[in-house]
Amino acid sequence: MEESWIKQYWRPIMAWQYAAVCLFDFLLAPVLTMLFFKATGGTYVQWEPLTLRESGFYHLSMAAIIGVAAWTRGQEKITRINAFGESVTEESSVTTQTPTKK
């Protein structure tokens, strides 16, 4: 039985979401803030990264989620290879049988 797309792709979705948040919070928002104050002629107020509030708990949480997810995915693949002797490529989702040594 095939997994649903959300169950299959939640790990990369979380990683891409985290990358997008970091890109916005540390690169895009500071540049846009600077451009806004330059265009309006107001007094410049430095951008405060939203994800660094509360001692950066967001980054600690995401590191834990992505780290554990990557580790468990690796363990799943190792278990599948050891149990069934199969090799799975993520890009094509094609399963091929590889000879096992006994």
Q: Residue 48's domain spans which residues?
A: 5-97
Angle between helices 5-23 and 57-84 (to 10 degrees): 150
pLDDT band at residue 94 under the 50/70/90 scheme:
very low
pLDDT (mean) for 37-60: 91
Instruction: Count structural domains, the chain.
Output: 1
d(CA 55, CA 94): 44
By the 8 A CB rule, do 58 and 51 touch?
yes
The verdict on residue 45 lying in a domain is yes
The verdict on residue 102 lying in a domain is no
> What percent of the chain clears pLDDT 90, i.e. is strictly above it?
39
pLDDT (mean) for 41-48: 91
Single-letter amino acid code for the residue at 98: T
pLDDT value of residue 41: 92
pLDDT value of residue 33: 95
The verdict on residue 51 lying in a domain is yes
Single-letter amino acid code for the residue at 29: A
The verdict on residue 42 lying in a domain is yes
pTM: 0.65
pLDDT value of residue 66: 86
